[in-house]
Chain A
Amino acid sequence: MDIDLLSNIFYAMIRCGTPLLLVALGELICEKSGVLNLGQEGMMLFGAVIGFIVAFNSGNLWLGVLLAMAAGMLLSALFALVALVFNANQVATGLALTIFGVGLSSFVGAAWVGKPLAGFEPLAIPYLSDIPLIGRMLFAQDLLVYLSFALFALVAWVIVKSRVGLIIQAVGENPDAASAMGLPVLRVRTLAVLFGGAMAGLAGAYLSLAYTPMWAENMSAGRGWIALALVVFASWRVWRLLLGAYLFGLASILHLVAQGLGLAIPSSLLAMLPYAATIVVLVLLSRDAVRTRLYAPVSLGQPWQAGH
């Protein structure tokens, strides 16, 4: 394997891992605050379609990105209303959000399938992008990928270093104690859910404006679900999330590797790989029930109401 191929694989790995990273960062904050939102796939698709339509009509990619995030937030607000205010089962509400988002995005986007769009172009940073092997991977990406690096740094800082991070985790670990301390539990959770929605919308916009600049039904192809598995994989720790996202990115570009090595494996078999990898990873990590319980936010997925 020559160095060009390797550098290409690294480059594609980051590109493939970026949407996963974005969704997973949003879901991580959400789960840290004790809310399990299974609607990532739906929010991502809705973000993708809104981002595409806006960018296509206005000719402004960033406006598309912005409204995609707003679209994701809108759906997550619905989730927050039903799951947090009305106290419905979070698993069922998340599923409903995904089914709704898939339907809504196909409905809204029906007239836009297959339309061409000039999406985000890679922007090479001079000199740095010439570093062998990792230069292209880190410094010749498009702007949304750079944004994802920045957002990762932000989320990592918030969780590890900031007071906001402590508040979010207090609410997720023990909402009763947090509430007794005077923390507004429901408001924190709602904001966390909204943040998750915005990130899912952004990930959707990345898919429809940068990764493959077009709209196709179900174009997220289960990435929202893989991101959920990623959070478990990372044991709710932010650095392992980064690692996991790019590992899964690598798993989904293995067909490139296979081509590079001259192997002839049918594409539909290779397409199974990220999903199979997800299962394997889940098995490896969940085998130890005690460990999973140790790292998971204690009140994850449990409804909570003031004054109980």
Chain B
Amino acid sequence: MLLSLEPRGQQSRLMLWCSPLLAAVLTLGCGSLLFAVLGHDPLQTLYTLLIAPISDLYGVSEWLVKALPILLCALGLAVAYQARIWNIGAEGQLLLGALAGSAVAVNIIDMQSRWALVLILLTGTLAGAAWAGLTAWLRTRFNANEILTSIMLNYIALNLLLFCVHGPLKDPAGFNFPESAMFGDASRLPLLVEDGRLHAGLYFALLALVAVWVLLQKSFVGFQIKVLGLDARAAGFAGFRQKPLVWLALLISGALAGLAGVCEVTGPIGQLVPQVSPGYGYAAITVAFLGRLNPIGILFASLLMALLYIGGESAQMSLNLPQAITQLFQGMMLFFLLACDVLILYRPRLNLRWARRTRTTAVQAGAL
């Protein structure tokens, strides 16, 4: 083979952080190629996708609005993935948070006190945690694979949401649309800017960012979680009890996703609708990996992902490209990341033997 891989013998710290950047660059490169094939000017399209949407203050606020749920979900996933618990259920946990929060909100529409909001946020967060707790219970009690159970719970949560907006939570005065009533003013998250939808959920996200950072980098529990993830047997020998750690990681993960969901319905949306989430929970998986399961890395990765979300919307409106471009880029990025990660442990080496052999053949041919 022309190109072979040679073990480095140790992790390359440089590549550990360069590989996500490389993946992002490769994704953009591939994307431009795709645009060119589809007959769009690549530079113009990239501008529409990545720069135009955030070129004014309103755009920046929309950007942050999209980044918040992704950031919250991805932070939670990072905790679970550090323990090697593959929680794929952030989407379902988010939906359930939104659903439970809304169920409370439509019953206290007339409540004027600020406690209304607190009550709703708490319910949503707890519901998300409980939904993840289900996965934890199935895993610790019955040894059921958490990937499959959490995925199945995503589909169940989505159907539960659909059932509720078509049934018990449907707005009686809503002309039979599958939506809940608009929440009362006291149940809405306060806005942070004059024009724009940026809401107080920003504070929760920042708080979660710091909390997860402290948990993972500075606390003993975080250390235990990491050891469990690196080597479950070593964790056992060190006397760390596995089941409570699995529970904890999944509950944190679910609570943050639930909070993201309830912030969506009490923030930008203001009611329960079937499309609460355009796949934030799945996007968060890519973000968690792209950010190297590190809170700071995840912050940047979620901003990038949110940019892809609003970019996808603007590309659909101004260039008539399918909005699925967001997901396409997501998948490409994760793929490139995993492929580039090979460079952390291996050094690529050009095998010139093949080239030399052709040269010798050429020389021999010349001698003849």
Interface pairs A-B: 4 shortest CB-CB: A100-B331, A103-B327, A110-B322, A106-B324
Q: A278-295 toward B: CB 8 Å interface, digit per residue (1/0)?
A: 110011001101001000
Q: Is the CB of B338 within 8 A of A96?
A: yes
| Contact of B245 with A by CB under 8 A | no
Q: Is the CB of B339 within 8 A of A88?
A: yes
| Contact of B47 with A by CB under 8 A | no
Complex CA gap A228/B152 in Å reads 11
Q: Is the CB of B330 within 8 A of A103?
A: yes
Q: Is the CB of B327 within 8 A of A99?
A: yes
Total A residues in contact with B, Cβ cutoff 8 Å: 48
Chain A residues with CB below 8 A from B54, complex form: none
Residue in contact with A275 in the complex, picked from B138, B156, B330, CB distance below 8 Å: B156
Shortest beta-carbon distance, A43 to chain B, in Å? 12
Q: Is the CB of B145 within 8 A of A282?
A: yes
B residues at A contact (CB < 8 Å)? 5, 86, 88, 138, 142-145, 147-149, 151-153, 155-156, 159-160, 162-163, 166-167, 282, 285-286, 289, 322, 324-332, 334-335, 337-339, 341-342, 345
Q: Is the CB of B322 within 8 A of A272?
A: no
Q: Is the CB of A279 within 8 A of B322?
A: no
Shortest beta-carbon distance, B222 to chain A, in Å? 21
Complex CA gap A196/B332 in Å reads 21
Residue in contact with B342 in the complex, picked from A86, A228, A229, CB distance below 8 Å: A86
Chain B residues with CB below 8 A from A210, complex form: none
A residues at B contact (CB < 8 Å)? 38, 42, 78, 81-82, 86-89, 91-93, 95-97, 99-104, 106-107, 110-111, 217, 221-222, 225-226, 228-229, 232, 266, 268-269, 271-272, 275-276, 278-279, 282-283, 286-287, 289, 292
Q: Is the CB of A38 within 8 A of B147?
A: yes
Chain A residues with CB below 8 A from B341, complex form: 86, 88
Q: Is the CB of B282 within 8 A of A275?
A: no
Q: Is the CB of A283 within 8 A of B338?
A: no
Shortest beta-carbon distance, A23 to chain B, in Å? 14
Smallest CB gap from A87: residue in B: B342
A268-B162, A272-B155 as given contacts; A88 in contact with B148, CB under 8 Å = no
A95-B88, A286-B143 as given contacts; A100 in contact with B334, CB under 8 Å = yes
A92-B338, A99-B327, A222-B151 as given contacts; A268 in contact with B143, CB under 8 Å = no
